Amino acid sequence: MRGMAKQRSGRGARLLILGGTAEAVELARACAARPGIAVISSLAGRTRAPGLPPGEVRIGGFGGAGGLARFLIARGIDRVIDATHPFAARIGAHAEQACREAAVPRLRLLRPPWTRESGDRWIEVADLAEAARRLPKLGRRTFLTVGHQDLGAFAGLDLWFLVRTIEPPGVLPLRDAEWLAGRGPFTVEDELRLLRAHAIDVLVTKASGGSATYAKLAAARQLGLPVVMVRRPPPPSGPVAHSVEAALAWLERPA
C-alpha cells in the first residue's frame, strides 16, 4: 500500500469502502492483510445479517452527498472505493459528488456483467417497468429475482410469481405469488430442481453479474426458458476496476 501510505505522513492511510457486495468484503479482507492501511467499510443496512468484513464497519446512510463529503473530511479519508452493487445508482452518484467536493480520489469497483452464451434466450430490457410490460407475452409462471426492494414494478400483473430474496419482502405487492428465502451461491442442480418443481416458464433478473447467482441462467439455458434481463444503470464517471486485484493495484498507485 505504498501509494496510499505516501499520501499523508505521520499516520496510516485511510480507505473507505462503500460495500454491500461480496467484492467489498473480499477487498476489505485483502486490505486487512496489508500493513499501513486502515479500512472503514460502509453498509446501507438493508440486510439484517450481512456478511461482515474485517476492520471498522459503519452501517446506515450518510444523509446524501453532503453528508458523505462531511464524513470523508471528518474521518480523514484518503481514498474511496465504491464497491456497491451494479444497480446501486444513488450511492454511486453521491460518492462521485462527495469525493469531488472533498478532493478524495475514488474508484468504482464493478463486477463484470454476465455474457450471453449459445442457447441463452435473454430479452434485454432498459428497466423494471419494461420487464413488467414484456412479461405477459413471455410466460405465466415467473421466477422473479430482482431483490426485495423492486417487486412493486410487477404489481397488477395477472401472472404467478416465485419470488426469491435474501430479506423477507413483507406483504408481497403481487396478486399471486410465493416467497422463497435464498442467499447465493446457488448450484445449477438446485436451480434446475426449483424451476422444474414450480413449472417456471420465464425468469426475470437484473444484469448483476457475479458467480453467486449465475446458476439460474445456466439452468434456464438447459431448459430453454426465456430470461428477462434488466440492463445496468450507467456507472458514475471516473476510473473503474473490474476485479479486487485491479482495485488493489489502484491503491498502490500514487494519487
Between CA 15 and CA 26 the distance in angstroms is 14
Among 51, 61, 112, 136, binds ligand NAP (CB under 6 A): 61
Please give the Cα distance from 5 to 75 (Å, whole number).
16
Burial class (CB in 10 A: 0-12, 13-18, 19+), 103: exposed
Single out the residue of 46, 100, 116, 231 in contact with ligand NAP (rule: CB under 6 A): 46
DSSP code at position 148: T
CA atoms within 13 A on the CB side of 155: 8
The distance of closest approach from Cβ of residue 68 to ligand NAP in the complex, given in angstroms and rounded to an integer, is 6
By CB under 6 A, which span of 40-48, 73-81, 136-144, 245-253 interacts with ligand NAP? 40-48
Mask for 92-111, x = binds ligand NAP (CB under 6 A): --x-----------------
Sites for ligand NAP among residues 151-190 (CB under 6 A): none
- The Cβ of residue 202 has, within 10 Å, a number of other Cβ atoms equal to 23
Query: Cell 486485484 sits at which residue?
Result: 245
Stretch 2-21 residues interacting with ligand NAP (CB under 6 A): 18-21
- For ligand NAP, the binding residue among 14, 79, 85, 164 (CB under 6 A) is 85
Piece of 41-49, 107-115, 120-128, 239-247 that binds ligand NAP (CB under 6 A): 41-49
How many Cβ atoms sit within 10 Å of the Cβ of residue 9? 7
Q: Which residue has the cell 465504491?
A: 82
Count of Cβ atoms closer than 10 Å to residue 34 Cβ: 14
Q: Which residue of this chain has its Cβ atom nearest to ligand NAP in the complex?
A: 61
CB of 10 to ligand NAP, least distance (A): 28
Task: By CB under 6 A, name the binding residues for ligand NAP.
Answer: 18-21, 42-44, 46, 61-64, 67-68, 84-85, 87-91, 94, 147, 149, 206
